[in-house]
Chains A and B, each alone.
Chain A
Amino acid sequence: MADITLIEGLRQAMDEELGRDERVFIVGEDVGARGGVFRATMGLFEKYGAERVIDSPLAELSIVGVGIGAALYGMHPICEVQFADFIYPAFNQIVSEAAKMCYRSAGEWTVPLVIRAPYGGGIGGGLYHSQSVEAFFAHVPGLKVVIPSTPYDAKGLLKSAVRDPNPVVFLEPKKGYRLIRGEVPEGEELLVPLGSARISREGRDLSLFAYGMMHHYALQAAEKVAPEGIQVEVIDLRTLLPVDEQTVLASVRKTGKALIVHEDTLTGGYGAEIAAILAEHAFTDLDGPVMRLAGPDVPAVPYSHPLQDWFMPDAERIAQAIRKLAAF
């Protein structure tokens, strides 16, 4: 076993997949010689060459559009958008083209593509380096949307995403790139299936759903409230589209109470989808209202430190929300 950071998990995944399959390549800004602005692709340019790790023009639209073309030809591109905040120019290609290609060609053309982007705040990035974008893509049938929160899942899910024949939007909690460490087995093929949630902590009193950085704060919050007699079940959703409804519903049938946490802004955020699923399919198991704790409904994360802290949910805020719901 090796104790590695989340970003190292991503790097290892890409290294292994490039090594395993010639059709896999990486394209994005600064991914080559610089190894990526976060160093996610460090060493890969030296190992696999400029042909397989391509420094693209500063043009997110074509990073993805050209990637789609290559995927149509049978390649397996990993397209990196440097910050999720800059994914919008590529929105047309992702939603109009990648997501719809298989359906519109009745299965004749498929797009085995991964679009990777760091997302989320808490790193002093201000409005345009801190955004969460998962809600936009979780709404698009034909895409898969994946968010790891541990090094193990980062590696295992990215490898699975590369091998998935569908277009996958793979969002990485950048705050956790180096903050989150964890154990990853060495010397064996590590694949974590898409579409499956993980119960990271069992409990009887309340189901707490989270992903990305918030999953870590959720675990911390659950620890905090345990001595008060509140046993929280924490679930890392991992794949938002298609979501593991079975695990979600089974947990709430057990606990009767649900709290969903995400750093994305509240209204229309991904939590609303989980809440709707619970309201419809777990109604008679509910012992309290389905609650969401999310970023405030402001255009984005402010820069100044205290303002950033005001925006970002943390373990203490999650603990308070747990206590309130547990007391209902």
Chain B
Amino acid sequence: MAVRQDLQVELSQETLLEMYWYMVLSRRLDERAWVLHRQGKVAFHISAIGHEAAQVGAVFALRRGQDWLVPYYRDLAMVLALGLTPLEFMFGLMGKQGDPSSGARQMPSHWSLRRANVVSHSSPVATQSCHASGIGLGIKMRGDEAVVLTTIGEGSTSQGEWYEAVNWAAVHRLPVIFMVENNTYAISVRKELQMAVAHVADKAAGLGLPGITVDGLDPLQVHAVMSEAVARARAGDGPTVLETVVHRMTPHSSDDDDRSYRPRQEVEAMKAQDPVAGFRDRLLMLGALNDQAEEQIQARAKHEVDQAVSLAAEAPYPGLEQGGFPVYVEDIRHG
């Protein structure tokens, strides 16, 4: 087990600002989604607040559009960084025609974006892990250069599915990075009740592959460690379990009330370590960001969110015939 904290950062200012932009965009979209839910305008939302740094940091280590992502429902910042638009997110949230993930067939935040190699995932947790290994197997069989990033919450690593997937990847040295966004809580159940090990990454040793734990609140740390894992995978040296320790600053989803299982001080303490604010401060300190630029970024984010909400609200629902297809490939309509 290794907790990396000592990495130097070699990223251009442009890249740093781009990373920051996606974190801000994700946060603003996310906050608006909560508002819409509490206003009764959408039925469900599951949040990424507190995860933005880990997600953006990880995705920026990939060859975006070439490598593959097999995500889970909390990865809003990741998919935005891979090209999902705010409007597309809002279509999905409101169940409108134009949702690229599922044509409004799935609940919100069940990501799929073929154009960016983001694979459709479901609600039963950890099923995506096997798919990631399978994609890795396909890549290896074809001799392609792509790698696969797959994410999961720490609670879901209790599923047999995850072990079998990681085991497969380790046995066959598949180019897969198994990233675990450890936010301590699986809805209300704390990590201590999920596993006997101190870190999720500790499980990796038992399956014969490297396991690394990193501070998920620092996007640059995550980026550095992910870059190493990606390089390893692309070189054919096999998979990595990469644990990013993050905070879930909201309840599990819009249906959850976390007051019944965690004290308010804990949540307040998390807010004091807000990764978006933290990165902003870091960038301001590094001189990569100034107040004016910050204002512009915030304004732009607000504008994009407002616009997305307004357009999506007016967009039509899918026609009823959409309910009946495509059950089989033969049903897919082209053109």
| Chain A contact residues, CB within 8 Å of chain B | 25, 51-52, 54, 56-57, 59, 61-62, 64-75, 77, 89, 92-93, 96-97, 100-110, 112, 141-142, 144, 165-166
Partner of A69, one of B135, B167, B327, B333: B135
Whether A66 contacts B105 by the Cβ 8 Å rule is no
Main secondary structure of the interface of B (DSSP, over half): helix
Q: Are A67 and B102 in contact (CB under 8 A)?
A: no
Residue of B nearest to A69 (CB): B134
A65 x B134 contact (CB < 8 A): yes
- Which stretch of B43-51, B82-90, B157-165 is in the interface? B157-165
15 A-B residue pairs with Cβ-Cβ distance under 8 Å, sorted by A, are: A54-B172, A65-B131, A69-B130, A69-B133, A72-B119, A73-B135, A73-B138, A96-B122, A97-B127, A102-B329, A103-B327, A107-B333, A108-B120, A109-B119, A165-B329
Interface contacts (Cβ under 8 Å), in number, total 143
Chain A residues within 8 Å of B123, by CB:
96
- Chain B residues contacting A62 (CB-CB under 8 Å) are 130, 133, 161, 164-165, 167-168
Among B293-335, those with CB < 8 Å from A are: 325-333
- Chain B residues in the interface with A (C-beta under 8 A): 68, 70, 100-103, 105-106, 110, 112, 114, 119-120, 122-124, 127, 129-139, 141-142, 160-161, 164-165, 167-168, 171-172, 325-333
Q: How far is the CB of B265 from chain A (nearest CB, A)?
A: 39
B132's nearest neighbour on chain A, judged by CB, is A69
Q: Please measure, in the bound complex, the distance between the C-alpha atom of A109 and the C-alpha atom of B136, giving whole angstroms.
A: 16
CB atoms of A69 and B105 under 8 A apart: no
Given contacts A68-B130, A105-B114, contact A97 B122 (CB under 8 A): yes
Task: Apart from A59-B164, A69-B130, list 14 A-B contacts with CB within 8 A.
Answer: A59-B167, A65-B127, A65-B130, A65-B133, A66-B134, A66-B137, A69-B70, A69-B131, A72-B135, A77-B134, A103-B325, A108-B114, A108-B120, A109-B112
Cβ contacts under 8 Å, A72 to chain B: 119, 131, 134-135, 138
Would you call B120 and A70 a contact (CB within 8 A)? Answer: no
Which residue of the partner chain, among A52, A56, A109, A141, contacts B327 with CB atoms under 8 Å? A141
A92 touching B161, Cβ below 8 Å: yes
3 closest Cβ pairs, A-B complex: A69-B134, A65-B130, A73-B138
Contact indicator A96/B137 (Cβ below 8 Å): no
The residues of B that contact A102 with a CB separation of less than 8 Å are 326-329, 332
Which residues does chain A contribute within 8 Å of B161, judged by CB atoms?
61-62, 65, 92-93
Q: Which residues of A contact B165 (CB under 8 A)?
A: 62, 65-66
Q: State in angstroms the CA–CA spacing of A103 and B103 once bound together.
A: 9
Given known pairs A106-B103, A166-B329, the reply for A71 and B134 (CB within 8 Å) is yes
Q: Tell me which of A54, A67, A92, A165 has the highest count of chain B C-beta atoms within 10 A of its own C-beta.
A: A92
Q: Max chain B CB contacts within 10 Å: which of A59, A66, A104, A108?
A: A66
Choose one: A61, A67, A105; the contact of B134 (CB below 8 Å).
A67
On chain A, the residues within 8 Å of B326 by CB distance are 102-103, 106-107
- On whether the beta carbons of A101 and B120 are closer than 8 Å, the reply is yes
CA distance A100 to B48 in the complex (A): 26
Q: Are A96 and B105 touching (Cβ within 8 A)?
A: no
A96-B127 CB under 8 A given contacts A102-B327, A107-B332? yes
How many angstroms from the CA of A66 to the CA of B138 in the assembled complex?
9
Which one, B112, B124, B330, contacts A108 given CB within 8 A? B112
Question: Does B164 lie within 8 Å of A57, measured CB to CB?
Answer: yes
Q: Is the CB of B164 within 8 A of A65?
A: yes
The residue in B110, B112, B325, B327 that gathers the most chain A C-beta atoms within 10 A of its C-beta is B327
- Establish whether residues B102 and A70, one from each chain, have CB atoms under 8 Å apart when the complex forms: no
A61 and B106 alpha carbons, distance in the complex (Å):
23
CB pair B130 A75 closer than 8 Å: no
